[in-house]
Amino acid sequence: MTKLVRYACLFLVLISSVTLEAQQEKYWEFYATPKGRSNFGVHMQSATEIILMGGNLRNDSITTISSTQDSFQNWTLHSDKIGSMLLCHAVYNKQTIAVAGRDGVFGVFDIASKQVNFKSSGLSNYHLEELSFEDEQSLWMAGNAKSGDEAVLWKSLNQGDAWQVAWDSAGAVVHALAFQKQTGLLAGSQGLLMRSSDQGLTWNTLSLPGFAAQRQWNDIYFVTDQLVVMVGGNPAQDSVMSIARSTDGGQNWTVVLDSIAPMLNAVHFVSSDMGYAAGNDGALFYTVDGGLSWIQIQLPLTVNDDRNLQDIHFYGSKFGVVSGERGKALFYRNFDLVGPDLQLNRAEKRVNGDVFLYGKVNPNNSATSLNLLYSSDGINFTSSAIGNYSGDSLIDFVIPFQQNAGQYWVKLSATNSAGTSETNALTVYTGPNEIPNFDFELWDSIAAPKPENWGIAGRIKLEDLGGGNRAIRLQALGEEPGAIYFADPRDSVLLGGIAYKGTPTQMGVRLKYETATGDSVMVVGEFKDAAGQSLNSWVYKLAGTQSSFTDMLFDTKLPNGAQVDTFKLLLVSTNYLGGTIDSGSVLTVDSVWFVGSNERLPNQNLDAWKPDTDFKLIGWTSNDTRNQPRPFTANPYSGRYALDLKSIKDLEFGYPHLHCGNVPDGRYAPGFSISQAYTKLYGYYQFTSAQANDSFYVNLAFFKQGQQIAWGQFVETNSTNDYNLFEIEINYQQNPQMPDSAWLETGIRNGIDTKGSGSAAKLDLLSFDMPYVSPLVAKNQEELKQILLYPNPAGKTVRIFGVASDATVFVYSSDGKQVFAGTAQRLEETDLQVWKSGVYWVRIQEEGIVHIKKLMIKPE
């Protein structure tokens, strides 16, 4: 069959593109190599330095190694002597080339000195077909007995001085060998295909589908660890072109092409998508989709005649050489390409303040230098070297934590022989997180016993009257009055209550009080029937001072024959109905009882108390002391705690709302200061919805001189099993302005029902502009006991025992704002008197572990 017919058949199975062919055609040139030698191997050391390996097969067989420093213009013969022709080569680290060929010839070529050292392999009865370096000294080599009845794989541990048989097979013929990390592939005639997953220690036979199992496989190329392409075919009269592809490291194969056409001898990829294949009769093809489809490169006969092509190598994506028989070489030069492919995808922040950058570089197998460019003004950039790359690489590296926090613009620059590429700049913020207590690790806990059966609000205190007698002292706390109650007091309406069947004529209260000017303490009560209808309600106000306990009676005014079902009672320290909450007023209650009824109230003497603990989240304010957030320890996203929000089931207005910073009564107002024009807020959350229309939300606003200039919101209505990352886009009313403060709120709500449902949410690791990565692990209590701050309370200095001197340390004030960042040693050298006396929180981070310690600073 003529070549014309072969190529016509090939067009039926290959994808062709006139546009791409024309683009390829203009980049290829023919060059004659020295003395018309056949070159079975080619290596491009640079865009202009090319090394060829081969010789003559018959009529005074020749061993040839030649090189050019100026792109085929001038040549130097390093070996051109009577001997056996070279068939294969392998390159180590662009320093050393091992060469081998017919009749057991083997040598090592030093690229820098251009000296070749031929060694006796002791394998003169074999033709050596393939080489592969494992490291500088360890080398694999495959070949076939001249008799054609044995294929052998050898290994040398001393760069070819001695060889040991690693595998052999009678009747097989091997032509291809490739290693990628632990995976090795060996292929040859009659569909021979072997795979090793332990770097050549053991080999397993693989099967190829259909006629591919009868083909001769001549070359294998690992495009990535998983993507492998193999080429070959059938060299007989009706020759066949075959290409197979694996996407799982060579375990399973798909035949991409198996059609009548010239057999392929070599394959090479310049990226994960772009590759070339060459073979007999000048066959030359390329792919742009990782080997799924192949396009013929149609060149004039003056450029590409019918002499066989044997090897391919590219330097980057701009320069390549295909070597062939009898002095034939094709040179590819594409000056239209610009630089390596480069991406800077995103920036993230670690909890210790470091910035973590993610990107990708594709140098197209060309030595590429990668640099970080950074700027504090977005205009003038400073360069810092990251490293050198030669293959597709995912980039992840750290910009270390900066004590002098600031906003930076960062981008990547990559340079190789094809040019220089730069990414767009990302804006990052290095330094402290300006959100107070951003990861909810800072909690204060106070032992606070509670009276059994009663609801409480505001500031309460147990007063021991002796002899088992106890009373409760009530005082307003912030915007919440001090109170005890059998009900749920909100907005002047008493809801809930307790079951009560008596019909008393009076209610007695033993109490004492002291009210601020214009204020009064209050006794509020109501009886209801089984239908929920009010039988009678009352509000009694007491003003002035009653410094000792006194018994006071209040008429219940129940109608005759009333059938009482529910009783509600509120004893409150300030006139909350008058619109003023005054913490200067105090009410102390000893007991409550009824006249005219034998039915008692639960714990009416207030003598029964239960142990309890109040938790205060540093830097945050709750809208309701009865529904305070608690530290969540079962499964925080990071560290020891996450924020735990719960909608209290069946409690009227039982939905929690939490505000960051000092925001009185949760008003929409600046709560904490910021210094950057952030564009996003990130955090991790879980949400369990107990009823329809419940939602977990995070709201924020930025202010400048008290005026809102930006806002953002996140809302989740669906339950989540795991922590999810949320992202809020911060929308500025005009072009981003520099804010000076922020308001941040989170909670659970229902737009229809105000009665608590039992929905719950967890929140952790809030951050502006970059999400946190590498969550911290908390040490257990026993390990924490080994961490000691001394002295504590501290005066001028404090020492940290139990951690390394270079452990990362942050110190936060009582409102959750960071006041110090550095190492343990630097904190020990810091004069603490520059800070105000009071409570501080010390966060110690070491090897991904977080410890939180409370520190008291006293004036000297």
Please say whether the beta carbons of 656 and 646 come within 8 A: yes
Token readout for 391 is 């293959």
Please say whether the beta carbons of 676 and 429 come within 8 A: yes
Residue 102: CB atoms within 10 Å: 21
pLDDT tens per residue, range 661-677: 766 555 677 888 888 88
Considering only residues 335 and 667, tell me which one the structure prediction assigns the higher pLDDT: 335
- Please name every residue paired with 562 in a beta bridge, in sequence order, or none if there are none: none
Please say whether the beta carbons of 40 and 84 come within 8 A: no
3-class DSSP state for residue 819? Answer: strand
Taking 80 as the threshold, does the pLDDT of residue 445 lie above it?
no
Token readout for 819 is 């006041």
Taking 90 as the threshold, does the pLDDT of residue 313 lie above it?
yes
pLDDT given at position 196? 95
pLDDT given at position 662? 64
Range of lowest pLDDT (477-491, 562-576, 800-814): 477-491
pLDDT given at position 484? 92
pLDDT band at 634 (very low <50, low <70, confident <90, very high): confident
Nearest Cα residue to 645 out of 662, 663, 657:
657
Q: How many residues does the chain have?
A: 860
Token readout for 808 is 């990362």
Nearest Cα residue to 101 out of 142, 42, 60, 58:
142
Considering only residues 617 and 98, tell me which one the structure prediction assigns the higher pLDDT: 98
pLDDT tens per residue, range 168-177: 988 889 999 9
Q: What average pLDDT does the structure give for the chain? A: 86
CA dihedral in degrees (13, 19, 20, 24; nearest 10)?
120
Of all residues in the chain, the percent with pLDDT exceeding 90 is 48
Q: Averaged over 258-266, what is the pLDDT?
A: 94
Taking 60 as the threshold, does the pLDDT of residue 205 lie above it?
yes
C-alpha radius of gyration, the chain, whole number: 41
pLDDT given at position 782? 52
In 3-state terms the chain splits into helix, strand, coil percentages (rounded to 5) of 5, 50, 40
pLDDT given at position 16? 35
pLDDT given at position 589? 98
Q: What is the Cα–Cα distance from 82 to 649, expressed in whole angstroms?
A: 94
Q: Averaged over 521-540, what is the pLDDT?
A: 92
DSSP assignment of 782-795 equals HHHTT-EEESSSBS
pLDDT given at position 391? 74
Range of lowest pLDDT (239-248, 484-493, 695-704): 484-493
Q: What is the Cα–Cα distance from 345 to 394, expressed in whole angstroms?
A: 10
Taking 80 as the threshold, does the pLDDT of residue 295 lie above it?
yes
Q: What is the Cα–Cα distance from 197 to 183, expressed in whole angstroms?
A: 5
Token readout for 614 is 């109040």
Taking 50 as the threshold, does the pLDDT of residue 1 lie above it?
no
Range of lowest pLDDT (120-124, 328-332, 584-588, 813-817): 813-817
Q: What is the Cα–Cα distance from 155 to 353, expressed in whole angstroms?
A: 49
Which DSSP symbol is given to 571?
E
- The residue to which tokens 């005890």 are assigned: 484
Please say whether the beta carbons of 763 and 709 come within 8 A: no
Half-sphere exposure of 377 (CA within 13 A, CB side): 3
Taking 60 as the threshold, does the pLDDT of residue 516 lie above it?
yes
pLDDT tens per residue, range 42-77: 999 988 899 999 999 876 789 999 999 999 899 999
pLDDT tens per residue, range 129-188: 999 998 889 999 999 998 887 899 999 999 999 999 999 988 889 999 999 989 999 999
**Domains by residue range for the chain, with CATH:** 3-333 (2.130.10.10), 341-430 (2.60.40.10), 449-610 (2.60.120.890), 614-773 (2.60.120.890), 777-857 (2.60.40)
Residue 715: CB atoms within 10 Å: 11
Q: What is the Cα–Cα distance from 219 to 230, expressed in whole angstroms?
A: 6
Q: What is the pTM of this model?
A: 0.48
> Does the CA dihedral 335-314-75-32 come out positive or negative?
negative
CA angle, 636 then 640 then 646, to 5°? 50
Taking 90 as the threshold, does the pLDDT of residue 806 lie above it?
no
pLDDT given at position 365? 64
Range of lowest pLDDT (221-225, 498-502, 803-807): 803-807
Q: Averaged over 259-283, what is the pLDDT?
A: 92
Would you call 199 exposed, middle or buried from its count of C-beta atoms within 10 A (0-12, 13-18, 19+)? Answer: middle
Q: What is the Cα–Cα distance from 665 to 657, expressed in whole angstroms?
A: 11
Please say whether the beta carbons of 279 and 262 come within 8 A: yes
Q: Averaged over 316-321, what is the pLDDT?
A: 85
Q: Which residues are CB-contacts of 240 (< 8 A; sequence separation ≥ 6)? A: 211, 215, 233, 234, 258, 259, 260, 261, 263
pLDDT given at position 338? 61
Q: Averaged over 445-454, what is the pLDDT?
A: 84
Q: What is the Cα–Cα distance from 101 to 86, expressed in whole angstroms?
A: 4
Q: What is the Cα–Cα distance from 794 to 834, expressed in whole angstroms?
A: 13
pLDDT tens per residue, range 341-391: 788 877 776 666 677 787 888 776 667 888 888 887 777 788 888 888 877
Please say whether the beta carbons of 789 and 853 come within 8 A: yes
- Main-chain dihedrals φ then ψ at residue 309, nearest 5 degrees: -105, 135
Distances (CA, A) of 504 to 57, 91, 408, 558: 121, 102, 73, 8
pLDDT given at position 11? 34
pLDDT given at position 6? 32
pLDDT tens per residue, range 210-236: 888 989 999 999 998 899 999 999 987
Taking 60 as the threshold, does the pLDDT of residue 637 lie above it?
yes
DSSP assignment of 362-400 equals E-TTS-EEEEEEEESSSSS-EEEEEEEE-S-EEEEEEE-
Taking 70 as the threshold, does the pLDDT of residue 400 lie above it?
no
Q: What is the Cα–Cα distance from 216 to 188, expressed in whole angstroms?
A: 5
DSSP assignment of 792-821 equals SSBSS--EEESS-TT-EEEEE-TTS-EEEE
Q: Which residues are CB-contacts of 731 (< 8 A; sequence separation ≥ 6)? A: 710, 711, 712
Token readout for 770 is 């970059």
Q: What is the Cα–Cα distance from 827 to 807, expressed in whole angstroms?
A: 10
pLDDT given at position 340? 74
pLDDT given at position 683? 94
Sheet with 28-32, strands from edge to edge, namely 28-32, 328-333, 319-324, 309-315
Distances (CA, A) of 431 to 21, 353, 832: 53, 5, 21
pLDDT band at 681 (very low <50, low <70, confident <90, very high): very high
